Structure 1
Amino acid sequence: MTLRIAVLAGDGIGREVVEEALKVLDAVSVAGGPAYRLTHFPHGADHYLRTGELIGEDALRELGEHDAVFFGAIGDPRVPPRTLERGVLFAITVRYEMFLSVRPYRLHHPRLTPLDPSVARSLDLVVVREAAEDVFALPGGSIKTDRPDEVSVGTVVFTRRTVEAVVRYGFELATRRAGARRVTVVDQSNAAGVFDIWPRVLEEVAPEFPDVDAWHEAPDAFAMQLVRDPARYDVVVTSWMLGGVFADLAAALVGGLGLSGSARLNPGGLSLFEPTHGSAPKYAGKNVASPLGAIHAMAMLLDANGRPDAAALVEDAIALVLREARIPTVDARSGVPTDRQGDLVVEAIREKSARRAPR
């Protein structure tokens, strides 16, 4: 079967890191991975400034003819904040009901973490967050702007249907992962009644998964424990806003935002895969950004589309280049150019596939 992938490189460093991820996809395909067909979409800041279009109905419909969307990054200082994010990325995720955000984090080498290695060595967790409601359902805004009596108002929305689906996905994921089989729901129900639905749904769903340990924690307690004892956690389930904070904290503990991929999932439908970092316009065109997050996102895409073997090959290659310090860090100061990092991962894939080949 040919894997049909819609590619939106987007803005800033997105174009550079996507190029390296596609280079890796080609190497995996040659090594026995899936055949694939790419469709490139131009949507982002340049397209918007040239045409005035964010993303139109025809393009949205065409995305649905693919097996997955591979996304680079969105955001440009020439365009007002939130214009591109809402007009392109959120337009896609809303249209295709991508209500789950999944971000895995694993420490590949002690030099990458700011924690004591003895504390961080077992860090291997996934942050699952709701990605359709929270503050996005009714975004709100400000009145009397720039006046002493200015007021900003927003609404937080959680529906049982979405919260239950997100919590249930967290349990299902925990049963598929090797190791601890734990689910931690992080919510603010200790202080804000709108979060009461989260621990109630947890209590209702948990008995269906007797082999999974489950509990809920307040955000401040979770943040403290995450840096003191990260091995305590396996699958962390939370809301969009809280999850954004904790996902970035977890990223810092394993080396930085440049390392990890992210998925916006509609199980059984169209899903989108991207690096966790933003467009970083100050690094665009300088060939210094780490493409490992985009490459990891490609591994997640392969896994979600029925090729866990190909995904494992990519993930093992990433682990190898980090473990052996072929890429010493995952930020713009690594000293290894973006395109060279892609080459190093490709070389590692070839090394590993050669070892696996029958003699």
Structure 2
Amino acid sequence: MKKSFNIAVLPGDGIGPEVMVEAYKILNIINNEFNFKINTREFDIGGIAFDKFGTPLPKKTLDGCIKSDAILFGSVGGKKWTCLSRDKQPERGALLPLRRFFNLFINIRPIKLNNDLKQLSPLRSGIIKNGFDILCIRELIGGIYFGLPKGRNTFNKKNISAFDTEIYSTKEIERIAKIAFQLSLQRNKQVCSIDKANVLESSSLWREVVTTVSKNFPDVQLRHLYVDNAAMQLIKNPNQFDVILCSNLFGDILSDECAMLTGSIGMLPSASLNKNFFGLFEPAGGSAPDLKGKNLANPIAQILSLGLLFEYSLNLQHIARYIELSVIKTLQKGYRTLDISDGKNYINTNQMGTKIAKTLSEIIKNENHIISKNI
């Protein structure tokens, strides 16, 4: 009897449903080629859920996620819903509550640029002559996005003030730091922790705690950078970084910068995990409403996010490698979506998904042939 896994699929808004179709092409091949079964069920979330049910996170969707082994997420939001109250808006009323409900405090974003694809990067070739491989670890459910109090002082209507609270505890910092150090042991054993300890008290604690945690990992080299310097160093020499450890706010900003170093935010996958590595897997980019329905969005981030799902939540690392390799080989053949093209020679969303799926099928068949030949 085949082992089976249950995946909750949340396409969401904007380009989410379009790029999710391309992820299904990958799933279909995997279901046909391996001795396990991936069962999928779709649920509404975000703006489309609000339009149907009056809430961006319906109970049916949450229940479906609870009953699943992992969540494959598209994107949420758009101008249509910005006029809603904060708790009804797709991002604040759906994505952030999902992270909090499942305690998804670990955000992992692999930022890779293969040496053969360095022409995709906006950086000049001399800077990225060897490509780069960075793992950005972001704390996801603490810091200024969730800190209390937050609000507005409206006593003076002519001079309204607003406030948010950046707050971290020792335990919050310890648990994300441990993940960063553990993952670094599987890589080049280097962690760069990002803060603003010269200005912020929360960053001062962050630096102290990360330094303490590092003593349990003597084989890992730790260094600290202020966030403004880190932003500069990523442009100057991205290859100097291995694992980057960030707070919620700093990780949100730097990971997008890292994405553009690869050529487009449409290339960057993301995994949000809890301590058991149950996770939500989504492209790092947004819903891109201007691209909706045009068949121009880059599906690579969604496909690579599926790869991360296999790697972390399903513990099927070989499948993740196949998916990543299929993307690399497709790009090496010269296929480009609009965002990573010269603006003249490109293929559409559907075509890119089909090319990657075809390459994946070829890789798997070739691998099976080699294995059977050696038996």
User: Shorter-chain TM-score category?
Assistant: over 0.9
- Residue 152 of structure 2 contacts residue 160 of structure 2 at CA under 8 Å; is this kept in 1? yes
For residue 296 of structure 1, what is the aligned residue in structure 2? 304
1:317-356 aligned at under 5 Å gives the runs: 317-327=326-336, 330-331=339-340, 333=343, 335-356=346-367
Cα pair distance change 1:296/1:146, threshold 3 Å = farther
Match status 1:281 vs 2:292: no
Residue 266 of structure 2 aligns to a residue whose secondary structure is coil
**TM-superposed deviation, 1:4:** 0.7
For residue 313 of structure 1, what is the aligned residue in structure 2? 322
For residue 132 of structure 1, what is the aligned residue in structure 2? 141
Opposite residue 232 of structure 1, the aligned amino acid is Q
Which string of whole-angstrom CA distances, capped at 9 and with x for unpartnered residues, describes residues 311-357 of structure 1? 00000001111122122664585621101110000111122112212
| Structure 1 unaligned residues grouped into runs of 5+ | none
Match of 1:98 among 104, 120, 128: 104
For residue 155 of structure 1, what is the aligned residue in structure 2? 165
Cα pair distance change 1:28/1:237, threshold 3 Å = same
For residue 176 of structure 2, what is the aligned residue in structure 1? 166
1:214-293 aligned at under 5 Å gives the runs: 214-268=222-276, 270-293=278-301
- Alpha-carbon separation, structure 2, partners of 1:2 and 1:139: 44
Match status 1:31 vs 2:37: no
Residue 176 of structure 1 aligns to a residue whose secondary structure is coil
Residue 63 of structure 2 aligns to a residue whose secondary structure is helix
Which string of whole-angstrom CA distances, capped at 9 and with x for unpartnered residues, describes residues 164-220 of structure 1? 11111000111122xx22100000111111211111112111121122111111011
- Alpha-carbon separation, structure 2, partners of 1:139 and 1:86: 16
Which string of whole-angstrom CA distances, capped at 9 and with x for unpartnered residues, describes residues 49-83 of structure 1? 23212223443233111100000001021112651
* Relative contact order higher in (CA < 8 Å, ≥ 6 apart): 1
Match of 2:122 among 110, 114, 120: 114
Match status 1:199 vs 2:178: no
Opposite residue 341 of structure 1, the aligned amino acid is M
Worse-superposed segment, 110-119 or 340-349: 110-119
Match of 1:5 among 4, 7, 27: 7
- Alpha-carbon separation, structure 2, partners of 1:288 and 1:242: 30
Cα pair distance change 1:248/1:167, threshold 3 Å = same
Which string of whole-angstrom CA distances, capped at 9 and with x for unpartnered residues, describes residues 104-152 of structure 1? 1001311111112232233110111111111122272333399441101
RMSD: 1.9
For residue 175 of structure 1, what is the aligned residue in structure 2? 185
- Alpha-carbon separation, structure 2, partners of 1:273 and 1:328: 22
- Alpha-carbon separation, structure 2, partners of 1:59 and 1:125: 33
For residue 208 of structure 1, what is the aligned residue in structure 2? 216
- Alpha-carbon separation, structure 1, partners of 2:43 and 2:244: 33
- Alpha-carbon separation, structure 2, partners of 1:308 and 1:341: 23
- Alpha-carbon separation, structure 2, partners of 1:58 and 1:13: 23
- Alpha-carbon separation, structure 2, partners of 1:27 and 1:62: 24
Cα pair distance change 1:145/1:234, threshold 3 Å = farther
Cα pair distance change 1:139/1:127, threshold 3 Å = farther
Which string of whole-angstrom CA distances, capped at 9 and with x for unpartnered residues, describes residues 264-320 of structure 1? 111315310000110011100110000000000000000011110100000000111
Opposite residue 77 of structure 1, the aligned amino acid is K
- Residue 34 of structure 1 contacts residue 307 of structure 1 at CA under 8 Å; is this kept in 2? no
| Identity over aligned pairs, percent | 27
